[in-house]
């Protein structure tokens, strides 16, 4: 595509596609160059302007993102709710005058696309949250989730059955000890798992500041290797199909993928939160790999999920009662995984412990991964590495406790979610799981 010249009728389309490829590969500077040139040539193309603004936001370039969003709003205030959403979560104090009226008008339109209603509701909610109007904000978050659920139905009973099946399989599927081969070289894996918004990004950023570690982020290479070897299907069905031969193939393919990220490093991290569903898979394929499980206060986790505008919304979070049920299912699965962890692969990491005593806790989980302490690990925010997650703003600052008790502002309005705080099973699990190193796993 780089060879396509401006004279070619497909040039503009090729430049847009190439920019998206660069963004997918986290080559942000190259994407910015292409998109900025595209906008200079086609100033009236609002969709490409929006792509550029979203790209700036994804890279954590708050000033550029907000400026690009302001320009879109100046040109066409009702073009999309997306620029308002970006401003509201990156620089809410910069929200342009009249934004509430425009967003309210969008929400009043009966024929607005469900995705736009979701974005408009979340942007409007954030404005009210910043004003301290928590009930109004929560009602708007609920409106956004209602729009998302109506567009993307979700089979919660099926999801809970899958969590229960994975829980029952934990420990019942024998860990395969002899899956490595003599000619393995290149970086080794470290897996970071947990619910979204539980501290996985901060945990990885600290690890990634170590000179022996490359922080790859939320990469899909492990899931892809599993699909390539045993086929698609429910995770529990895939797990049942992983015998010794399949495990060796998955292991070989995944190690090759890690080598492509950073062949000179000792370790490459994978911080895909949803891999908590694949802990038993990971243990079968990599019985020698450290797995760090992050968690926070249950209500802090769930409310952060509920009030965060993920690029791909978490469908189990659209209903507060279902979100509570999903969290209970997650607790049951992780409890079973820890009970089956006879080799000390799993390290349980409390977000609250990490932000209250970062050096001691970080030293401990680095040791679990077979890494010596490196003082620069706590200065991860200086590295300039982009976090392409909902935590992009937080991890560009030093460790702080700003997010520890934010959930309490919404506590009066959370309805069925509040039952998690009084659930003895959840309380017992949360209390029992402090940051602890069972054994050095690498």
pLDDT in tens, 16-70: 888 888 877 778 888 899 899 989 998 999 999 999 999 999 888 999 999 999 9
Beta strands in 159-311 (DSSP E): 188-194, 213-215, 267-270, 291-295
Question: φ and ψ at 309, to 5 degrees?
Answer: -85, 80
Percent of the chain surpassing pLDDT 90? 65
Residue 275: pLDDT above 50?
yes
Asked whether 170 and 271 are in contact (CB, 8 A), the reply is no
User: Can you give the pLDDT at residue 382?
Assistant: 65
442 alpha-carbon distance from chain centroid: 25
User: Can you give the pLDDT at residue 7?
Assistant: 62
Cα 284 to Cα 249: distance, rounded to the nearest angstrom: 12
Give me the helix-helix angle, 244-261 and 221-230, nearest 10°. 150
Helix/strand/coil for 399:
coil
Asked whether 118 and 313 are in contact (CB, 8 A), the reply is yes
Cα 117 to Cα 109: distance, rounded to the nearest angstrom: 9
Cβ burial of 118 (10 Å; 0-12, 13-18, 19+) is: buried
Q: Which of 234, 306, 221 is nearest to 269 (CA)?
A: 221
User: Can you give the pLDDT at residue 391?
Assistant: 45
Residue 180: pLDDT above 80?
no
8 alpha-carbon distance from chain centroid: 39
Helices (H) and strands (E) in the chain, counts: 20, 5
Token readout for 267 is 């370790």
Q: Which of 59, 28, 83 is nearest to 396 (CA)?
A: 59
Considering the segment(s) 1-96 as one domain, its CATH architecture is: Alpha Horseshoe (1.25)
Beta strands in 143-187 (DSSP E): none
User: Can you give the pLDDT at residue 114?
Assistant: 93
Candidate from 2-11, 25-34, 75-84, 142-151 with smallest mean pLDDT: 2-11
Q: Among all chains, which residue has been given the structure tokens 């790999």?
A: 289
Residue 109: pLDDT above 80?
yes
Q: Which of 47, 2, 54, 58 is nearest to 25 (CA)?
A: 58
The HSE-up count of residue 147 (CA atoms within 13 Å, CB side) is 23
If you count them, how many residues does the chain have? 442
Residue 170: pLDDT above 70?
yes
pLDDT tens for each residue of 59-69 = 889 999 999 99
Asked whether 72 and 83 are in contact (CB, 8 A), the reply is yes
Token readout for 402 is 């700003």
More confident residue, 87 or 420: 87
What residue segments make up the domains of the chain, in order of their start? Answer: 1-96, 112-153, 157-432
Which range is most confident: 6-10, 13-17, 25-29, 351-355?
A: 351-355
Residue 8: pLDDT above 70?
no
CA quadruple 43, 48, 52, 53: dihedral, nearest 10 = 90
| pLDDT level of residue 396 (50, 70, 90 thresholds) | very low
Asked whether 213 and 269 are in contact (CB, 8 A), the reply is yes
The HSE-up count of residue 32 (CA atoms within 13 Å, CB side) is 15
CA quadruple 275, 328, 344, 168: dihedral positive or negative?
negative
Q: Among all chains, which residue has been given the structure tokens 């370039």?
A: 61
Cα 126 to Cα 103: distance, rounded to the nearest angstrom: 12
Residue 432: pLDDT above 60?
no
More confident residue, 155 or 404: 155
Q: Averaged over 190-199, what is the pLDDT? A: 94
Work out the mean pLDDT of the chain and round it to a whole number.
87
- CATH code of the region 157-432: 3.40.50.300
User: Can you give the pLDDT at residue 172?
Assistant: 81
Asked whether 339 and 189 are in contact (CB, 8 A), the reply is no
User: Can you give the pLDDT at residue 5?
Assistant: 62
Candidate from 11-15, 193-197, 366-370, 389-393 with smallest mean pLDDT: 389-393
Cα 126 to Cα 137: distance, rounded to the nearest angstrom: 7
User: Can you give the pLDDT at residue 395?
Assistant: 40
């Amino acid at each position: 595509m780089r060879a396509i010249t401006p004279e070619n009728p497909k040039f503009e389309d090729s430049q847009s596609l190439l920019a998206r490829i660069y963004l997918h590969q986290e080559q942000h500077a190259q994407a910015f160059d292409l998109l900025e040139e595209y906008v200079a040539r086609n100033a009236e193309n609002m969709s490409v302007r929006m792509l550029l603004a979203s790209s700036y936001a994804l890279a954590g370039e708050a000033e550029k993102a907000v400026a690009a969003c302001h320009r879109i709003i100046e040109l066409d205030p009702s073009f999309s709710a997306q620029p308002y959403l970006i401003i509201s979560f990156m620089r809410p104090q910069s929200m342009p005058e009249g934004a509430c009226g425009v967003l309210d008008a969008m929400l009043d339109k009966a024929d607005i696309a469900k995705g736009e209603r979701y974005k408009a509701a979340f942007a409007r909610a954030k404005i009210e949250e910043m004003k301290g109007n928590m009930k109004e904000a929560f009602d708007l978050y609920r409106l956004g989730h209602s729009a998302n659920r109506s567009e993307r139905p979700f089979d919660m009973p099926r999801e809970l059955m899958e969590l229960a099946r994975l829980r029952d399989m934990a420990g019942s599927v024998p860990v395969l000890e002899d899956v490595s081969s003599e000619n393995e070289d290149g970086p080794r894996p470290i897996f970071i798992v947990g619910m979204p918004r539980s501290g996985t990004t901060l945990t990885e950023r600290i690890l990634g500041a170590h000179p022996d570690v490359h922080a790859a982020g939320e990469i899909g290479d492990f899931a892809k290797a599993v699909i390539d070897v045993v086929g698609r299907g429910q995770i529990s069905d895939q797990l049942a199909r992983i015998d010794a031969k399949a495990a060796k193939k998955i292991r070989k393919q995944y190690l090759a993928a890690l080598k492509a990220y950073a062949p000179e490093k000792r370790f490459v991290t994978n911080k895909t939160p949803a891999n908590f569903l694949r802990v038993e898979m990971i243990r079968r394929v990599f019985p020698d790999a450290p797995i760090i499980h992050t968690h926070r206060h249950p209500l802090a986790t769930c409310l952060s999920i509920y009030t965060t505008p993920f690029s791909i919304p978490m469908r189990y979070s659209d209903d507060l009662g279902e979100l509570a049920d999903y969290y209970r299912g997650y607790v049951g699965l992780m409890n079973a995984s820890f009970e089956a962890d006879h080799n000390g692969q799993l390290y349980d990491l409390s977000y609250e412990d990490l932000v209250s005593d970062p050096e001691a806790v970080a030293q401990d989980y680095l040791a679990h991964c077979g890494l010596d302490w490196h003082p620069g690990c706590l200065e991860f925010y200086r590295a300039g590495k982009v976090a392409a997650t909902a935590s992009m703003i937080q991890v560009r600052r030093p460790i702080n406790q700003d997010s520890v008790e934010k959930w309490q502002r919404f506590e009066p309005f959370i309805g069925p979610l509040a039952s998690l705080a009084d659930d003895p099973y959840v309380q017992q699990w949360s209390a029992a799981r402090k940051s602890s190193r069972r054994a050095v796993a690498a």
